[in-house]
Amino acid sequence: MLGVGGALIIGRIVESVNDRLLDASARSIADTLALEDGEVTLDLPPSAFGMLENDERDNVYYSVRVGGELLTGYPDLPQIKAGSARTDDVAFAYSAYRDAPVRVAAIVRRVPRVEAPVVVQVAETLEARNSLSSRMLAGLLVLEALIVGLLVLLVPVAVRWGLVPLAEVRRGIASRSPTDFTPLTLQQVPAELRSFVDAFNGLLLRLENAVEGLRRFTADASHQMRTPLSILRAHLQVLKREGTETEGGRASLADIDTATVRLQRLLTQLLALARAEGNRENVMRLARNVDLAALARSVAEDHVPAALEAGVEIEFDAEGSAAVRTVGEFARELISNLVDNAIRYNRRGGTVWLWVTAEAVGVRVVVEDDGPGIPPRMRAQMFQRFRRLDRDHSEGSGLGLAIVSELATALGGGIAVTDRPGGGLRVLIDFPRDLGAGGA
C-alpha cells in the first residue's frame, strides 16, 4: 500500500511541477500577441522555450492558430480542447506526436479588433518527467526497504516487550498451589488482555465454587455416614457372634436394614444437594418447557405408598395454566422433598395438601400439612443443611429442606413458610414463567 500510494503521489507531483513550466511557456507566448496593420503578430520570446530545457533534452513543439488557421508553429501538432478566453485558464492533455507521447498545454486569448480567438499550444515529450518519476520511485523503494528492515529488527523486540506482562501472569499462575484460586490482578496487565484476564478470573471463581462444593460434599458425606456405618459395623459384629437364628441376631438384621435404608437416603440426598449446587451456572442451558401441574401430580402419586405407610392422606389440586420454562428434574426434586418432609413429620391420620395455581408472573406450588408445624423462631434454621429441629422424631438427615432451598435458588423461585390456618405448616414456592426472568 505504501508503494502504490507513493507512486501515485510522485506521479501527481511530477505532473504538477512540469505542467507549471508548460503553463508559463504558453502564457509567455500568448502575452506577445499583437495586431499590426490588421494582422495578428507575435514575437516568440527565447525564454518561452528555454524554461523547458532539461538534461533529457525533451522535444518541444508549439502552434499558434487564429480561428483555426495556423499562424505559426507545427501544423500537424494535435489540437486539444482549450479553455475559455474569459477565464484565461490553461488546459492540459496527454497526446502523441511523431510517435512519442507528449503533454500539451493550450490557452485561448483575444486580440483587440480581431473577431476570431487565438489558440496557443505548447507540447513537450515526457522523457524528463519519466526520468524524474523513476528517480523518485527508486528513492521511495530504498526508503521502504529501510523501513521494512527496521520493522523486522524492531517488531520482535516490541513483541517481547509487550508480552512481558503476560509472561509475568504466566509465571504467577505457574507458581500457585493447586488450591489457590485468588483472582489475577489487573494493574500490570495491558488493556488488550484485561477482558481475557477478567474471563479467566471468572473461571477461577467457578472452579473455586466447584472445588468448595466437592470439599463440602466430601466433608458432609464422611460426617453423616459415620453413624450409620458404625451401626452397621456393630450389628455385623453381633451377627458374627450370635448368628441369625437368635433373637439378638434377628434384631441386628432389622437394625442393619434400617441403617442401610437411612444410608441410601442420605447418599441420595447428598447427591441431590451436590447436583443443585453444581448446576447453578448451567441451569439456563438445561431449561425446558414443563407443565408443573402434571409434574406435581406425578410427585403426589409417587408418594402414595409412603403416605399409606405413615397413615397420612395426600390431596392434590391444580388451577389454571401451569406451563413454565424451567429444569423439570430440579423442580421434581424440589416438590418431592417438600412432600416427603410433610409426610415424614406429620401426625398419623394427618393430611398433606399439594396444589398448583397460576399467578400473574408465574406458577405457585403450595405444600401444606396439618402436623405440629414449625415455630416462627425456628424457621430461619430449617433450610440449613443437617439442621434437625427439636420437633423431629423420625429418622432423617436434615438435608431435605436444604435441598429445597438450593433448588429454589437455582430455579429463580421464591420460597416462603407460613402457618397453615387450623394448624400445621404451609410452604409456598413461586416459579417464574421463564427461568431467564427469574434471575437464576
Residue 288 and residue 248 in one domain:
no
Is 318 among the domain residues?
A: yes
Give Cα 323 distance to the centre of its chain: 32
Residue 23 and residue 60 in one domain:
yes
60: cell is 518541444
- Long-range contacts of the stretch 218-225 (C-beta < 8 A, 24+): 220/270, 220/273, 220/385, 220/386, 221/267, 221/270, 223/386, 224/266, 224/270, 224/386, 224/397, 225/263, 225/266, 225/267
Domain count along the chain: 3
Of 228, 256, 277, the position where a domain reaches its end is 277
Is 167 among the domain residues?
A: no
**What is the number of other CB atoms lying within 10 angstroms of the CB of residue 67?**
12
Supply the DSSP string of 256-322, one letter for each residue.
HHHHHHHHHHHHHHHHHHHHHHHTTTTHHHH-EEEEHHHHHHHHHHHTHHHHHHHT-EEEEEEES--
The CB-side HSE value for 175 (13 A sphere, CA atoms) comes to: 7
The span from the CA of 211 to the CA of 204, in Å, is 10
Residue 93 and residue 39 in one domain:
yes
Cross-strand pairs, 369: 352, 425
The span from the CA of 106 to the CA of 20, in Å, is 12
- Contact by Cβ (8 Å): 247, 268: no
pLDDT of residue 437: 54
388: cell is 434437625
Residue 286 and residue 434 in one domain:
yes
Residue 45 and residue 89 in one domain:
yes
Q: Give 395's contacts (C-beta < 8 A, 6+ positions apart).
A: 258, 262
Cross-strand pairs, 108: 119
**Sign (positive or negative) of CA dihedral 414, 405, 403, 367:** negative
The span from the CA of 145 to the CA of 99, in Å, is 37
Residue 51 and residue 38 in one domain:
yes
144: cell is 521502504
The span from the CA of 59 to the CA of 124, in Å, is 6
Is 185 among the domain residues?
A: no
Residue 325 and residue 431 in one domain:
yes
Is 152 among the domain residues?
A: no
The span from the CA of 127 to the CA of 229, in Å, is 105
Residue 295 and residue 412 in one domain:
yes
Q: What is the domain extent for residue 225?
A: 191-277
Residue 299 and residue 425 in one domain:
yes
CATH number, domain with residue 16: 3.30.450
Of 95, 118, 134, the position where a domain reaches its end is 134
Q: What is the DSSP letter of 97?
A: E
Per-residue pLDDT tens listing for the chain (440 residues)? 666 777 788 888 888 888 898 899 888 988 888 888 778 888 888 877 777 777 767 888 999 999 888 999 999 999 988 877 677 789 999 999 999 999 999 999 888 888 888 999 999 999 888 888 888 888 888 888 898 899 999 998 888 887 777 777 778 778 888 878 888 777 767 777 788 888 888 888 888 877 776 777 677 666 666 666 777 788 788 788 877 778 777 787 887 887 787 677 667 766 766 666 655 556 677 788 999 999 999 999 999 999 999 999 999 999 877 899 988 888 888 898 899 889 988 999 999 999 999 988 899 999 999 988 888 877 766 766 555 554 444 454 456 677 778 788 888 888 888 999 888 999 999 999 887 654 43
Residue 223 and residue 289 in one domain:
no
CATH number, domain with residue 301: 3.30.565.10
Is 352 among the domain residues?
A: yes
CATH number, domain with residue 202: 1.10.287.130
Cross-strand pairs, 313: 351
Residue 309 and residue 432 in one domain:
yes
Of 110, 134, 158, the position where a domain reaches its end is 134
For the whole model, what pTM was predicted?
0.48
Residue 10 and residue 114 in one domain:
yes
The CA–CA distances, whole Å, from 410 to 48, 53, 227, 405 equal: 93, 90, 31, 9
- Contact by Cβ (8 Å): 56, 158: no
